[in-house]
């Protein structure tokens, strides 16, 4: 938000209005201290809003996007409005020549209620081009406010240990998004290795897992209603999961599909027995329910669909031994933020209704992550079960 601060210096006015100011990489902290000191010079509150510096965490967004300065910078801007943080945009791009540059700015908004006060947080952009990852992490570490938690939002599709590893030593929570590599089994394997190697010091989460909340809630709620029941969860015979495919992509089992399957397997004590793909390119997994020795079949397929993100589940169907079927689907042409929930037995419709599935963007999803510091044990269990299933492909 642009705010009138005409009696302040031009540099401070630019700083508080959200404009990026380039600074010497070695003097970022000193420059910020000077700008905040100047911004705190007493103003007449009747003429100018009082500046209040707010910060509850360190938030690092790591990216390799070409347009990161604007696109990811704007995302951070929206996040810190609700979650005041020292926001650090770490951009690492390949280039023929080496370059390390930095910019600073403040992100301000007027406080609600009476009076006129600006709540301001700072955003630091550090750009590293060429083979200078070590210099980048060194700069980032020097900027962290040591008494506040550190959230690392890793937005690239590569969980390479050489790039990510050094950052893990300084963060409290790592957030990734497996939708960036929606059909890459390696991404899921790498993520599981990170969870195992950092379980005592870093909480790990996946925005793509959080997007499943609506579907998971719909499944849980339906099995608490007649004719389905909690006991009926042990009578699941077949699970069919359909996700949106990619152009020229033969894979039919998306990472989001695997995470949903892993969640059910972990919560219902299913043991993975096989995972294969037939001649028609249909992936099928088979599990054994260790509580009653029954077999469960999970079928995966993908179809290209307009207006649906690649890898996103658009329909699941759960069939019970008793004949009931629960189908939950997204209609890309239907009401935004809703799921169609249908319960049938044979050709008879028992119940059809809409369930909430708010289509949250990355800003809102990340906002939820910043509010959490604890390990998501449900996600950890789902991820472990999904990766165990993947191991059967290598057997």
Mean pLDDT of the chain: 87
Domain boundary among 171, 196, 225: 171
In a domain, 29, yes or no: yes
**54-92 confidence digits (pLDDT tens):** 899 999 999 999 888 888 988 998 998 889 999 999 999
In a domain, 181, yes or no: no
Q: Verify that 123 and 229 share a domain, yes or no.
A: no
Helix and strand numbers (H, E) in the chain are: 11, 17
pLDDT given at position 226: 92
ω into residue 193 within 30 of 0, thus cis?
no
| Range with the largest mean pLDDT of 266-280, 319-333, 373-387 | 373-387
Domain boundary among 120, 137, 171: 171
pLDDT given at position 280: 67
Contact between residue 287 and residue 335 where contact means Cβ atoms under 8 Å apart:
no
Q: Verify that 236 and 318 share a domain, yes or no.
A: yes
Positive or negative torsion for Cα 109, 114, 116, 121:
negative
Q: Verify that 28 and 148 share a domain, yes or no.
A: yes
pLDDT given at position 311: 92
Local confidence band at 360 (pLDDT 50, 70, 90 cut-offs): confident
Q: Verify that 152 and 238 share a domain, yes or no.
A: no
In a domain, 207, yes or no: no
pLDDT given at position 45: 47
CATH of the domain at 376: 3.30.360.10
Q: Verify that 14 and 159 share a domain, yes or no.
A: yes
Domain boundary among 171, 193, 226: 171
Q: Verify that 23 and 123 share a domain, yes or no.
A: yes
In a domain, 203, yes or no: no
Which helix (H) or strand (E) element contains residue 121? strand 117-129
**205-227 confidence digits (pLDDT tens):** 999 999 999 999 999 999 999 99
Q: Verify that 266 and 319 share a domain, yes or no.
A: yes
Q: Where are the beta strands (DSSP E) in 226-294?
A: 236-244, 270-277, 283-289
How many domains would you assign to the chain? 2
185, pLDDT greater than 80: yes
Q: Verify that 303 and 366 share a domain, yes or no.
A: yes
Contact between residue 312 and residue 331 where contact means Cβ atoms under 8 Å apart:
no
Between the CA of residue 60 and those of 125, 168, 235, 252, 277, what are the distances in Å? 10, 11, 45, 33, 40
Range of the domain at 58: 10-171
- Quick check: pTM over 0.85? yes
Neighbouring C-alpha atoms within 13 Å toward the C-beta of 169: 9
**36-64 confidence digits (pLDDT tens):** 887 776 454 445 567 888 899 999 999 99
Tell me the three state secondary structure of residue 47.
coil
């Amino acid at each position: 938000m642009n705010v009138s601060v005409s009696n302040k210096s031009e540099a401070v006015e630019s700083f508080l209005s959200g404009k990026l100011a380039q600074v010497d990489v070695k003097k970022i902290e000193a420059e910020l201290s000077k700008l905040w000191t100047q911004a705190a010079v007493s103003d007449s509150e009747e003429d100018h809003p009082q500046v209040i510096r707010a910060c509850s965490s360190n938030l690092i967004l790591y990216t390799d996007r070409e347009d990161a300065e604007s696109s990811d910078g704007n995302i951070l801007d929206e996040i810190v409005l609700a979650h005041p943080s020292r926001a650090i945009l770490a951009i690492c791009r390949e280039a023929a020549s080496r370059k390390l540059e930095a910019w600073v700015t403040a992100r301000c908004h007027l406080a609600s209620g009476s009076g006129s006060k600006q709540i301001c947080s700072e955003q630091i952009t550090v750009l590293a081009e060429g083979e200078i990852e070590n210099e980048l992490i060194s700069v980032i570490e020097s900027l962290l406010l040591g008494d506040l938690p550190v959230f690392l939002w890793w937005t690239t599709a590569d969980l390479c240990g050489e790039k990510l590893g050094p950052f893990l030593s300084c963060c409290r929570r790592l957030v990734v998004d497996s939708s960036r590599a929606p059909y890459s089994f390696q991404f899921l394997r790498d993520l599981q290795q990170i969870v195992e190697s950092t379980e005592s010091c870093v909480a790990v989460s996946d925005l793509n897992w959080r997007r499943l909340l609506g579907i998971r809630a719909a499944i849980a709620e339906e099995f608490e209603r007649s004719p389905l029941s909690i006991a009926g969860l042990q009578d699941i015979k077949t699970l069919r999961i359909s996700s949106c495919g990619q152009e020229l992509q033969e894979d039919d089992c998306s990472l989001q599909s695997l995470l949903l399957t892993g969640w059910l397997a972990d919560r219902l004590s299913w043991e993975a027995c096989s995972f294969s793909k037939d001649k028609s390119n249909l992936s099928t997994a088979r599990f054994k329910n260790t509580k009653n020795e029954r077999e469960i079949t999970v079928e995966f397929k993908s179809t290209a669909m307009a207006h649906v993100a690649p890898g996103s589940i658009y329909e699941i169907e759960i069939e019970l031994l008793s004949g009931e079927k629960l189908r939950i689907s997204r209609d890309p042409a239907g009401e935004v933020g809703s799921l169609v929930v249908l319960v049938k037995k044979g050709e008879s419709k028992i119940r059809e209704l809409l369930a909430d599935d708010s289509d949250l963007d990355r800003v809102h999803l990340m906002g939820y992550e910043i509010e959490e510091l604890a390990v998501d044990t449900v996600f950890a269990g789902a991820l472990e079960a999904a990766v165990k299933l993947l191991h059967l492909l290598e057997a």
